[in-house]
Amino acid sequence: MKITDLKVAVIGQNPIVRIATDAGISGYAQVEGSKPYLKPHILLSKDLIVGEDPTNVERVLLKIRRQGAFKPWGSAVSAIEMALWDLAGKAAGLPVYKLLGGKIRDRVRVYNGGVRFPMPDYSPQAFAESTAKMKARPEGFTFIKQPIAFHGVMAESIPGFYYGEKHQAWRYANRGLLTERGLKHVVACVEAMKAVLGDEIGLALDCGPGWTVPDAIRLAQALEPLNLMWLEDLITGDYTPYVLADLYREVTRSTSTPIHTGEEIYLRQNFRELIETKAVRVVGPDPCDVGGISELKWIAEYADLHGILMAPHGVGNGVLGLAALVQVSAALPQNYIAFEYPLGQPEWWYDLIDGLPDPIVRDGHIEVWDRPGMGLEFHIPAARKYLNDEDQGFFD
């Protein structure tokens, strides 16, 4: 079997990858988030992979890995990698988890991810009400993650939250030295959420990036009595093209609150210092950014050898990304906590895909399915209606 074509279509705002073969089998994958601008970057790999055997996944990846980089540019290589695994599984008649060494769990735990509620303001009461809605969701999440401080617009919405002028990097106010009022406000919001959840449901916090090391230490120590799941991306994070493992290590060594990072990082080599120096307690690579699912599994195993936990990122990965997360998470070692549950957005995405369970999540878990490849297929007549004019040949 040989690869005959690499195609990319933008459906909604998401580039979708299709790898076609001379055996009439195709593999599909989805780019994380709304990144239509990545279509030409993905197609740069076409000439490198056409003619290769798609079941030799690692051999193909050796030809294209250098074309990726930290988020968002790793998405191009990651999508191709996951489409190759989908193809390999279909060719073998096996679910992808079997090709990754087999599953060690029949259900994979997830947390809320894309399930979020808008808040009228950033008061403790608003956080408590939002958290109560998540607690009542039919998915039955066993823990919930909420954004605070520099992850979102809290920092610029609360008067006197931090010193200095606002400097925007990417979407939010980025970096600042917190005032005493700002720190106390964050703690009050977290206490309000934990009062809703009690000890029944865990709480994780997406915090930045943007914290200074002293403020990160103060926050982590102040929240120690609340037994949080983790504090995420305090120092670096969304679209930050570097790691700063030494700064994370300083925070981690100062607190019993678990510290987490990793969603923007591309390739195992860029996790090495985080893991070997035990700079964090939890790593969270995204299969749609890190280089794919085999890359994520390698990182999980290496982290496990160093006593570090694994909680993959995945909020914007869509339904095809969800399938990839289910397959790889079934095969991860016992340091696995949960992955971030992605939604099909817009809602019509669920009409384009066959094979998803209904409901998808029960009691905070997803049952691992056993269909070949990633286990999902496009409902092509429905999907064609959402193709742009330039992508009309995507399924041909």
pLDDT of residue 119: 93
pLDDT of residue 165: 79
Q: 164 falls in which pLDDT band (50, 70, 90)?
A: confident
Q: 167 falls in which pLDDT band (50, 70, 90)?
A: confident
What are the tens digits of pLDDT across the range 350-390? 999 999 999 999 999 999 999 999 999 999 999 999 999 99
User: Is the overall model pTM greater than 0.95, yes or no?
Assistant: yes
pLDDT of residue 174: 73
| Angle value at C-alpha 269, between 203 and 151, nearest 5 degrees | 30
Q: How far apart are CA 355 and CA 95, in angstroms?
A: 13
Structural domains of the chain ordered from first start = 3-93 (3.30.390.10), 98-377 (3.20.20.120)
Q: How many CA atoms lie within 13 A of 184 on its CB side?
A: 5
- Could you give the percent of the chain with pLDDT greater than 70? 99
Q: Is the pLDDT of residue 175 over 90?
A: no
